[in-house]
Homo-oligomer: A and B are copies of this chain.
Amino acid sequence: MKEGPDIAQIGALIGDPARANMLTALMGGKALTATELAAAGGITVQTASTHLAKLEAGNLLTQRKQGRHRYFTLADDSVGKFLESIMGFAAGRGYLRHKPGPKEPALRKARICYDHLAGDYGVRMLDSMIGRGAIDAIGDGLVLTKSGETALKDIGIDVHTLKSSRRPLCRSCLDWSERRAHLAGSLGKALLSNFLDKGWAHRTAGSRCVVFSPEGERQFLMLFPAIK
């Protein structure tokens, strides 16, 4: 009767609203302290502490001590991945934590998905790269083409070093707001870093939103024209 892995424990860990909010906050990819996470969860630090201990025991989080702070991050990108898959389902079925508020449009426009760009802009970027032949979409998979590689070199991304990492270069990730794929993998991460480094965009504190500067937005839209 009892077969296979136990999903109940994981479900229970995610099932508490405070913990779910903390996990969602950590989907931003940034390491957060226990106090910050307590705020994100809407609870006191004591309560947060016990929650964090449970999440860590469940291998969903890891912590790193730094001075008198403890920085928590998702244990692994596999955690971010299956959380996003649940979010995708949740979004499709109208599981929303609130009525769409003022932050919502900004979040749908551009946000961080663990370590890469998501939202309208994330989807546009991938579509544009596919449209101009920088990336081939084959079945579920994404493959960087030769011409794509040289184009990336021009904007300052050395694909060669990325390839040496064990992590896949291109990976598609389902976007919960757009319900279409955006670009994940080490290349997705590199592109986001590139934009942030250039000052085209910056992250907002305590949120997954990514805000583009006027100039950055201009450059981005020019670099990734819409495909009709």
Residues on A facing B (Cβ under 8 Å): 1-17, 19-21, 23-24, 39-40, 42, 58-59, 78-79, 81-83, 85-93, 95-98, 101, 103-104, 107, 136-143, 168, 170-172, 176, 206-209
Q: Are B87 and A4 in contact (CB under 8 A)?
A: yes
Q: Are A11 and B138 in contact (CB under 8 A)?
A: no
Given contact pairs A1-B42, A89-B78, A172-B140, A11 touches B20 in the complex (Cβ within 8 A) = yes
Q: Are A103 and B10 in contact (CB under 8 A)?
A: no
A sample of 20 cross-chain residue pairs with beta-carbon separation below 8 angstroms, ordered by A number, consists of A2-B101, A3-B103, A4-B87, A4-B97, A5-B91, A5-B176, A6-B90, A6-B97, A7-B14, A7-B95, A8-B20, A8-B97, A11-B16, A11-B86, A12-B15, A14-B14, A58-B93, A85-B85, A138-B139, A139-B170
Taking CB atoms, residues of chain B closer than 8 Å to A7 are 14, 20, 23-24, 83, 86-87, 90, 95
